[in-house]
Amino acid sequence: MEQYTTFKQRLLTLTHLTAALGVLSWDQEVMMPPKGAGKRAETIAELAGLLHERFLHLNDDALLDTLKSALTKGELDDRQEAVVREIARIYDREQKLSKEFVQNLALVTSEATETWKTAKEKSDFSMFSPHLKKIVTLKREEAQLIGFTDTPYDALLDAYEPDMKTAEVSTILNDVKQFLIPFLKKIQDSPNTARPELLAGSFPVEKQKAFSEMVAKTLGYDLDAGRIDVSAHPFSTSFSPLDSRITTRYDKTDISYALFSTMHEVGHALYEQGLNPEEFGTPLGEYISLGIHESQSRMYENQIGKSLEFWTFMYPKLQKAFPKPFASIDINDYYRAINHVTPSLIRTESDEVTYNLHIIIRFEIERNLIEGKIEVEDLPKIWNQKYKEYLGIDVPNDAQGVLQDIHWAHGSFGYFPTYSLGNLYCAQFFAAAKKAIPELEEELKKGDTSRLLAWLRLHIHSHGKYYTASQIVQNVTGEPLTSQHFKDYIQNKFSKIYDNTL
Ligand code: CO
């Protein structure tokens, strides 16, 4: 179909523009000298505006409309259908937001982000509060413009986890919460004391770098189609399956930070490297959703990276590279230490058991905020109450409390739950992988993740957006998303560690 070819050409141009923007953003975080910040922000804003405009030109000569009606009439093949359906969905969203609205939101959030940095440094929520109020007003407006049937939060969640509704997230996360709170209590009451202080030492950055790179390669990360750099906050970014990069950060007194953030970001990058390069430029060459993306990173960070099996292979190497402190630490003690559970203030530093409670707190707060049930002024109080209620800890200040994350300053409401969904997808996928590959645990003990990666590539990565998140979960695991696999995984793993039955 001739129109489809033209359409694909237009999409390809957009993808190239997006990749160019991605390189600029990567450079901003990794390479740019500090004085470059101001002009770089302008360059990025200008290009982002161009991209938005170009995107709306997709329908010039009613091209998208034509393809949509071809879709309805059944004139497209199934791959074309997936492409048109996905682009029509995003187009529909973008079109409902005027250029003025988009620009205003960009302006308000970039000012807010600057203020947020200072407010966090000074631990002063009242500084940030007027900016956040503006953002919340705009996000409530955005939800109205986009439209919803159940709750305005649906309209925002849809930007990050299409195909998922607030009610479903709410039900599943409530269930996780009901499990986690008493389970955490049990762990805290257990006589076992994992000793995270064992992990402290002195780790030269160059040696950490070499070790992290070796781990990344062992996990299958192709460094000819990627690279590892340093940034303040680790992230991954991809310009094509053949150039998918990650960053990390090295703490001289603790190699764990670099190790586990590298494994996390490698999981993200493996997904990107596994997308089909032939589909570059269409949704069939793109990841499904943030939740599915996070499922891959968490699998490499936790199910593999914090497993006794993987460390059976890797620990002797760690001991050899860093005899101090590891030569004198038994592998079981090391394993307990890296899986140490303790309620803490900071989400990004939390363990597998408490992590989702951090997310659930944010989800409950932002949902109520968007629905107008609470207001910005109430946030520190509600935040602190929930930390006390769910995690049993007192929040000493806003910097370590409500101001810790950048997401709200960015206007990213609806983003947080995708982290927890990622953990649930992950546990469910991994349970299916273990069934499909009965020797998986034995393979991990040899540091061999190749069959697992091939399985993920075949069943998840290579499809791009051909399937939706719920379809892929059903296809890969034979059932819809459930919290059961996550609960089983946590229960099994941490009962062994904390009942001393390892
Ligand atoms: Co991630």
- What would the pLDDT profile of 214-224 be if each residue is shown by its tens digit? 999 999 999 99
CA of 288 to the centre of ligand 1 (A): 14
Question: Residues with Cβ within 5 Å of ion ligand 1?
Answer: 297
Q: Are residues 480 and 470 in contact, defined by beta-carbon separation less than 8 angstroms?
A: yes
Distance (angstroms) between ligand 1 centre and the Cα of 100 equals: 31
Does residue 502 surpass a pLDDT of 80? Answer: no
- 466 — pLDDT class (breaks 50, 70, 90): very high
Res 231 pLDDT > 70: yes
Helix (H, G, I), strand (E, B) or coil at 186: helix
| 40 and 21 Cβ atoms separated by less than 8 Å | no
Which of these, 429, 434, 423, lies nearest to 475 by C-alpha position? 429
Q: What does the pLDDT average to over 314-318?
A: 98
- Segment 488-495 shows an average pLDDT of 96
pLDDT range class, residue 37, cuts 50, 70, 90: confident
pLDDT of residue 50: 87
**pLDDT of res. 501:** 66
CB 20 within 8 A of CB 39: no
Name the nearest CA neighbour of 342 among 332, 357, 329: 357
Q: Give the residue carrying structure tokens 């901003």.
A: 28
Q: How far is the CA of 63 from the centre of ligand 1 (A)?
A: 36
pLDDT, residue 191, reads 85
Question: Per-residue pLDDT averaged across 11-22, rounded?
Answer: 96
**Residue range 401-405: average pLDDT?**
97
Q: Average pLDDT, whole number, for the chain?
A: 96
Residue 128 Cα to ligand 1 middle (Å): 26
Residue 41: pLDDT band (50, 70, 90) is confident
Please return the burial class of 253, using the count of CB atoms within 10 Å of its CB with bins 0-12, 13-18 and 19+: exposed
Would you name the residues annotated as active-site residues?
265
Q: How far apart are CA 263 and CA 334, in angstroms?
A: 17
Mean pLDDT of 101-123: 90
Percent of the chain with pLDDT over 90: 89
Least confident range of 77-81, 95-99, 177-181, 281-285: 95-99
Rounded to the nearest angstrom, the distance between the alpha carbon of 275 and the centre of ligand 1 is 17
* Report field, pTM of the whole predicted structure over 0.85: yes
- 469 CA → ligand 1 middle, Å: 17
